[in-house]
Structure 1
Amino acid sequence: MAAVEYGTRWTEQRGKRPVRIANCSGYKADPGYHMRYQAELGDVDFITGDYLAEVNIAENAQAHAAGQHPGWEQTCWDGIEQTIHILAQKRIKVIVNGGAHNPKGLAEKVQQLITEKGLDLKIAYVLGDNLFEEMKDIRTKGLPPHLDSDNSEVTYANHTLDLLEKNDKPIVSANAYLGAREIVKGLEEGADIIIAGRVADASPVIGAAWYWHSWNSTSYDSLAGALIAGHLIECSGYVTGSNFAGFYEYPLDSLYDITFGIAEVEKDGTCVITKHGAKKGFVTEDTVKCQFLYELQGNVYLNSDVKAILDDVQVQQEGKDRVRVWGIKGAPPPPTTKLAIFYQAGYQSEIVVNATGYGTPQKYDLYERMMRFGLARLGILDKFEVLEFQRIGVPERNPRSQLRSTTSLRIFAESSSPAANLGLASLLSEFAMQHYSGFHSTLDHRTALPKPYLSYYPAIYPQSSLNTSMNILYPTGKTVRICTTPPPRFEPLGKRESYETRNPVDLDSFGKTVRARLGDVVLARSGDKGGNANIGFFIPTRLPSSYAPGSPLYAEAWDWLRSFLTMSKLREMFAESWEGGYHVERVEFAGIYAVHFVVYEVLGRGVSGSSRLDAFAKGMGDWLRDVEVDVPVKFLEGRRKGMGSSNVSAASRL
C-alpha cells in the first residue's frame, strides 16, 4: 500500500475491515530491528510490544531510584528510534509497555526525537501501575492476598510469606497489571505512540482493536477475542515457529531469523494469525495451538477488562501462514487485578561439578555427604533457606564418548546472609583434593560466590483502588493528564474448573499398544505463572490425509488422549519429580483436541526465587513428551504414513 493510502486509513478504513496488529517484542531481549521489520515489510495499522517479563521492572527498580538507570527498556527505545520515520510516513500507531519503571521518561525522550526530526506524531504515556509507595510498608499496612488465595487446594511454597514475616526482606517494586482502558483513551485523544509501564501482555492489542472497532466496555465477546489474539502474538516468534514442539519436522534453517506474528482482529473479536511474507518462520494450526496453550491457568484467561472463556476455542488453517481463531466467549472482568511484588530475598549461589561414567550415583552421594559435613563443621548447615543437590542427566550406557558419559551435580543455595553462601564456596578449596574418582568442573566458579537476588510475591489488588491516567505530551513540554476509571462492571471469580474427561473411552478398545514416547503422537507446550506450571498436550494437525482433522483416526486419537491423560497419569509421568504438596488441575479444549494441566507450586516461589534448573517450566512439556507410555499402534502408524523422511522418527535422530 502506498504511503498516501496509509495516511487515509484512520479516516476511511477504521472499523470497516479487520485491524492489522503486529507484535515486535515478547521480552526486553528482542532487538529494536523487529519493530522496524513489522513497519517496513508490509501493511499494518498498529505495532505492539511486550518488553516486560515479571522480574524486568524489579531488576532495575533500585538503580532507577538512585538515578543510575533510566527506568525504561533500551530495546524499546532502539525500536522506536529505528522506526520513527516509517511510523510517520505510514501512519502506523505504536503501543508498548517498554516504559517499565519510567514511561514518562521514555515518552519525553521519544518526543525529543520527534521534535529534532520535525515529525508530526503525538506521544502519550500511561501511569498508575506503580504501587511501590503503597506497598513498601506492608508490615504496617498489611500484605495483599496471594494470587492463589481463592484456591483452597493450593499450599504455598516454603518462604512465600518471608517478606511479611521477616524484617530483612524490603520490597523493591510493586506493579499492578493494567488493562486497555488508558490505551483506548490515548488513541481517542489522537496519540500515535503510547508508552506504558506494566500493562498486561495482551492489553496493547486489546486497546488497538477496541479503539479501531469502537467497542464499548461491555463488548465482552469481542474484547475476549482480542485478549486471546494478543495472547497469541505477544511472545515474539512463539507463534511463528519459535519454541515449537514440532520443530524437527521442518528445515532447521527456517526456525531462526524469523519475523514475529500479526493478528487481524475482526469486529466480533475473531482473528486470523499471520505474518509478513518476507523473511522466515511459519504460522500453522500447530504453532497457534502451542502458543494458545502457553501460560494458561485453566479454561478462563483473565485481564483487567474482560474474562476470556476458552472452552470452545477453534483454529483452522485458511492458507499459507494464515490461521483463523474463533469460539472465545467473554464475561465481565474480576474486581481485582494481578500485582507483582518483588523484594530483596537474600543471596543465591550455585556450584556445578561433573562426574563421568562408572559409579556416578555413588560419586554424587559422596560429594553431597562431604559438603554437608563441611557445612555442619562450619556451623552453617541450618542457615540456608534452600540447599539442594540436583542431579542433572544420566550417563549413557556403553558410552560412545566421554561427553555422553558425563553428567552434573548442581548445588543450589539461598540464604538471608551472604556468610552462609561464602562458607559453602569455601569448601571448594578445603575439599579441592578430597573428591570422587574422575571429579572435574568448569574452571570458573564465579557463580559459587553469593549474589543478591529478588524474589516474587504474586498478589491481587482491587481495581477500584487504582489511580490510573493517560497523559498526553506536547512538544512545548506541557502534559495533559486524563484520569481513567475502572471497568463499569465486575464479576467475582468462581472456583476454577478441574475435571477428568467426560464419557471416557475404554483404552483397550484402541487395539494393540506398544511402548513409545508420548511425543511420538502428541505435541505440547509448557510455561510458568509464578510458582505454578502449565502443560498443554494436543493431537498435532500436520499429518497425512489418513490422520488429518475430521478423519475417523484423528477423532479416535483425541478420544484416546482425553481418556488416557488423566490427573493420576500426569502424576505417574512426573515420577521422581512429583512431591506431595503439589496440586494439579485439568481441563480440556475439545475444539483443538487438547488436554491442559496446571501444577501448583512446582516452581517454588517462581521467577528469580525458584531453585529449579528450568525455573520457567519451558522444558516441562518436552520432558513429559519423552516419557514412554502405552500408545496404540494405529496412531503411531498414522503419524508415520506419508511423512517420509520428516516423520516422527526424525526426533530420535536429533
Structure 2
Amino acid sequence: MRVGNASGFYGDRHSAVREMLTGGPLDVLTGDYLAELTMLILGRDRLKDPARGYAKTFLRQLEECLGEAVDRGVRIVTNAGGLNPAGLATAVRELAGKLGLDGVRVAHVEGDDLGPRHPDALTAHAYLGGTGIAEALRAGADVVVTGRVTDAALVTGPAAAHFGWGQHDHDRIAGAVVAGHLLECGTQATGGNYAFFTEHEPAALLRPGFPLAEIHDDGSCVITKHDGTGGVVDVGTLTAQLLYETSGARYPGPDVTTRLDTVRLTQESPDRVRVHGVRGEPPPPTLKAGLTRVGGHRNEVVFVLTGLDIEAKAALARAQIEDALDRADSRPGEVRWELARTDRDDADTEETASALLRLVVRDPDPEAVGRSLTGAAVELALGSYPGFHVTAPPGKGTPYGVFEAVHVPVADVPHVVVLHDGRRLDIPAPDTTLDLTDVPPPPLPEPLPYDRDRVRRAPLGLIAGARSGDKGGDANVGVWVRTDDAWRWLAHELTVERFRELIPESRGLDVTRHLLPGLRALNFVVEGVLGAGVASQARFDPQAKALGEWLRSRHVDLPEELL
C-alpha cells in the first residue's frame, strides 16, 4: 500500500495535495494539520464562531483536488477536523455536492474532546489512535476526517484496514507507526531542515517533494518520494526525522508501544530507504491529552544598540525602564531581558554594527503589559543612550497560551466513528495494555581508542547531525553520527554533564539521555526549557527548532581520525 503525505502543519505548501495526487500512484493521501500551537489557534477561532475550529485551508485544497482524488481512487485521511471534525465532515460533503461528486463518502472520528471535564481550558483533547480511521475505511469511506489523533494514526489506520491487522499485531502496527512518524512532518523527511544539507546539490533542496511510504503486510516499508520531485531521501534524512520529538527506546501511543531501538534503516537505492526490524509492545493503559489555556498577556520591545559601549548602553536602558515600571500604576509580574550581541567591530553597515536588547513582559492584566510598557519605552526617546531607537514601538498587550500534557485512562475516553451513512460505531479500548517501565539502557559500546594528543578543537557538527523540537514545555535534541567509530566516541563523550556544559541554558534543569545504538544516536530530553509551551513564547526559539544546531556549533575536542 502506498501512503503519501501532503501536509506537515497548518500552513504547509498549498499545492502539495495536487502534487502528490498527480505525481504518481497512491492508495491513501494523508495530511497532518495539528500541533500544540494549532490547537490554541483553532480554539480562538471557535470562540469567534462555534461552527469553525477546523483547518480551513484543507477545504480550499480539497476544492481544487477532490475530483482528482476520486478519479484516481485515492482515499484521503486527515486530522484537519481539529476541534470540530463533524463540522469539517459536513463542509466536505457540501463541497462534494457543489463539485458534482455526490457519491463521495465522508466519515469522521470523534470522542477526543475532553472539554466538559476541563471547563477552565480553552481546548482539551486526548490523542486517539488509528483504529477508528481503520473502521471508517473498512466501511467504504473515501474521506476520513479526525480531530486530535496521534500523527502516526493517519498511517496506522489505513495500514490496519488495508492488511486486516488486529490490535494484537503489535510488530506490524509498530512498523506503521514508524512510517507515520517519518511521513508526518512532510518535507523534513526529504531533506528539509537537515543538518548535513550542504552535502546535497542546492537545486535538489530548492523545492523538496513530499514523502510517501510503500508499506508491506509485515509492517516494513520503503520511504521514498514521487519520481522527478526535489529533495533527498536517505538514511540521514530519515534518521533525523526519527529522532524528532521523541525520547527513549519506547515510543508509547494509543495503538502500540513502538520500540525505536529496533528500527533499522537500509539504503536500497537513490531516494529509497527500507525501514525494517521494528518491534512493538502493547500500548499503555492511558492516553496523552493536551490542554491549552490563555496564560495571560505579553508585550515586548526590542532596543537597538549601535556602535561603541554596547554593554553600558544596555545597562542604561534597562535601569531606566525598570525605574519607570516601578513607578507605574501596575508593574508587570514577569520582566525578562535578553541582550543579543549581533554587533561586529568596525562594521561596514549600521545593521551589523548593532546589538539587540529584547524586553518581554507578562502579566494577567493587559494594562500592566500595555500602557505601562508603552509609556516607559516611548518616553525614553530623547533621554536615553546615544542612537536610541527600537525596532517597533510596543502596542497593546496580546494574550498568550500555555500548554499542559496530562494522561487519562484509555477506558475513560470515547472513540467514535461516524460513518458516511450516519451510523455511529464505538471503538473499544485495547484489551491488552502495558504499564511502561524504564527499559534498561543498552550497553555502551567500547570507547574509541584515539591519540589524545591528536585532537582538534572544532564544532561538534563537523561529525554529528542533530534535530530538535518541542513537546509541551520540554525540548528534545537528537544527535547522531554516521560511522561506528564516531558512535563509539560520541556515546562516551556527550554525557548529560557534557551536554549541560555545551548548552548552559540546560543547567539546573532535568536532562535525560537515551541511547539508540541502531541509529548511532543519542536523544536528550530537556525538561521545562520551553516554559509552558510554544504559545507562551518563553524563549528566543520557542519551539527549540534550532537548539540542535546551537549544540552542533559548540566546539569540542574532536579526534583527528574522525575528521
TM-score range for the pair, normalised by the shorter chain length = over 0.9
Aligned pair 1:410/2:393, yes or no? no
- The answer (yes or no) to whether the contact 1:32–1:77 under 8 Å persists in 2 is no
Cα distance change on mapping 1:621 and 1:280 into 2, 3 Å = same
CA distance in 2, matches of 1:600, 1:496: 19
Please state whether the residue corresponding to 1:355 is helix, strand or coil. strand
Distance 1:26 1:291 in 2: 12
Q: Does 1:232 align with 2:182?
A: yes
- Match for 2:513 among 578, 586, 605? 586
**C-alpha distance in structure 2 between counterparts of 1:125 and 1:517, whole Å:** 49
Structure 1 position 503, deviation (Å): 4.9
Give the alignment of 1:544-563 within 5 angstroms.
554-563=483-492
Instruction: With the length of structure 2 as denominator, give the TM-score of the two structures.
Output: 0.96
CA distance in 1, matches of 2:44, 2:468: 32
- Which one of 405, 408, 412 corresponds to residue 458 of structure 1? 405
The answer to whether the 8 A contact 1:31-1:79 is kept is: no
Structure 1 residue 177 displacement after superposition: 0.7
Rounded Cα–Cα distance in structure 2 between residues aligned with 1:473 and 1:207: 17
Task: Note closer, same or farther for the CA distance 1:507–1:578 as it changes in structure 2 (3 Å cut).
Answer: farther
SS at match of 2:378: helix
1-side partners of 2:414 and 2:270: how far apart?
Answer: 45
2:474 paired residue number: 532
Return the match for 2:140 from 190, 198, 216.
Answer: 190
Q: Indicate the SS of the match to 1:528.
A: strand
1:46 is matched with which residue?
Answer: 28
**Secondary structure of 1:456 counterpart:** strand
Residue 108 of structure 1: how far off its partner (Å): 1.3
Equivalent in 339, 347, 365 of residue 297 of structure 2 = 347
Residue in 1 aligned with 2:288?
338
| Residue matched to 2:61 | 79
Moved more, 345-354 or 244-253: 244-253
CA contact (8 A) 2:29 2:76 kept: yes
* Partner residue, 1:27: 9
In structure 2, relative to structure 1, the CA distance for the partners of 1:497 and 1:80 (3 Å cut) is farther
Do the aligned partners of residues 516 and 445 (structure 1) sit closer, same or farther apart at CA in structure 2, a change above 3 Å counting? same
Q: Note the alpha carbon deviations across 1:404-454, whole angstroms, 9 max, x for none.
A: 232211111111101210212211122222222233322x325x4201122
In the alignment, which residue of structure 2 is the partner of 1:164?
none
Indicate the residue corresponding to 1:376 in structure 2. 326
Cα–Cα, structure 1 residues 28 and 175, in superposed 2: closer, same or farther, change >3 Å? same
- Choose which of 219, 223, 236 in structure 2 pairs with 1:286: 236
Q: How does 1:308-323 map onto structure 2 within 5 Å?
A: 308-323=258-273
Amino acid at match of 1:318: E
Question: Partners of 2:353 and 2:541 in 1: how far apart?
Answer: 22
- Of residues 568, 573, 585 in structure 1, which corresponds to 2:502? 573
Matched, 1:630 2:519: no
Q: Could you list the per-position Cα deviations for residues 43-84 of structure 1 after superposition, in whole angstroms to 9, with x for gaps in the alignment?
A: 011001110111223323244245266221112112222221
- Measure, in 1, the Cα distance between the counterparts of 2:57 and 2:45: 18
Q: Match for 1:55: what amino acid? A: L
Residue identity matched to 2:271: D
Indicate which of 361, 375, 380 corresponds to 1:426. Answer: 375
User: Which whole-Å CA distance do the structure 1 matches of 2:513 and 2:64 have between them?
Assistant: 45
Change (3 A) 1:40 1:79: same
SS at match of 1:411: strand
What does residue range 465-504 of structure 1 map to in structure 2 within 5 Å? 465-474=412-421, 479-495=422-438, 502-504=444-446
Partner of 1:652: none
What is the CA–CA distance in structure 2 between the aligned matches of 1:489 and 1:359, rounded to whole Å?
66
**1:560 counterpart letter in structure 2:** W
CA distance in 1, matches of 2:2, 2:275: 15
* Structure 1 residue 174 corresponds to structure 2 residue 124: yes
Using the alignment, how far apart are the partners of 2:166 and 2:452 within structure 1? 50
- 8 Å Cα contact 1:63/1:69 also seen in 2: no
Match of 1:256 among 206, 209, 215: 206
Q: Aligned partner of 2:58: which letter?
A: C
Closer, same or farther in 2 for the Cα pair 1:114/1:271, shift >3 Å? same
Q: Is residue 441–residue 515 contact of structure 2 (8 Å, CA) maintained in 1?
A: no
Q: Is the 8 A contact 2:9 2:34 kept in 1?
A: yes
Separation in 1, partners of 2:497, 2:78:
42
Q: Which residue of 2 aligns with 1:207?
A: 157
What do the CA deviations read for 1:332-373 (whole angstroms, capped 9, x no partner)? 111111111111211011111111232212222222222111
CA offset digits 1:578-615 (Å, max 9, x no partner): 341x1111122212211111111111111201311101
Give CA deviations for 1:275-314 in whole Å, capped at 9, x if unaligned: 0013311111111111111111222212111111111322
RMSD, aligned CA:
1.8
Matched residues, number: 561
- Aligned partners of 2:441 and 2:349: how far apart in 1? 47
Name the counterpart of 1:123: 106
Partner in structure 2 of residue 641 of structure 1: none
Tell me, which stretches of 5 or more residues in structure 1 are unaligned? 1-18, 137-169, 541-553, 637-654
Residues in 1 aligned to 2:16 and 2:339: alpha-carbon distance in whole angstroms: 39
- What's 1:300 paired with? 250
Partner of 2:94: 112
Q: 2: distance between equivalents of 1:537 and 1:62?
A: 36
Whether the 8 Å contact between 2:470 and 2:545 is mirrored in structure 1 is: yes
* 1:134 paired to 2:120: no
TM, length-normalised to structure 1: 0.83
Q: Would you say the 8 A contact 1:498–1:585 is kept in 2? A: no
Structure-1 separation of matches of 2:282 and 2:453:
46
Contact 1:533–1:603 (8 Å) recurs in 2: yes
* Cα contact 1:507–1:564 (8 A) shared by 2: no
Check the 8 A contact 2:515/2:521 in 1, yes or no: yes
Aligned partner of residue 129 in structure 1, secondary structure:
coil
Matching residue of 2:530: 603
TM superposition shift of 1:172: 1.2
Go from structure 1 to structure 2 and tell me whether the alpha carbon gap of 1:393 and 1:623 turns closer, same or farther (over 3 Å shift): farther
d(CA) in 2 for partners of 1:397, 1:563: 39
Tell me the SS of whatever aligns to 2:436: coil
Q: Show the counterpart of 1:159.
A: none
**SS of the residue 2:268 aligns to:** strand
Shift of 1:400: 4.2
When residues 230 and 379 of structure 1 are mapped into structure 2, their CA distance, relative to the original with a 3 A threshold, is same
User: What do the CA deviations read for 1:305-324 (whole angstroms, capped 9, x no partner)?
Assistant: 11111113221211111011
Residues 238-261 of structure 1: CA distance to partner in whole angstroms, max 9, x if unpaired? 001111111122233322332211
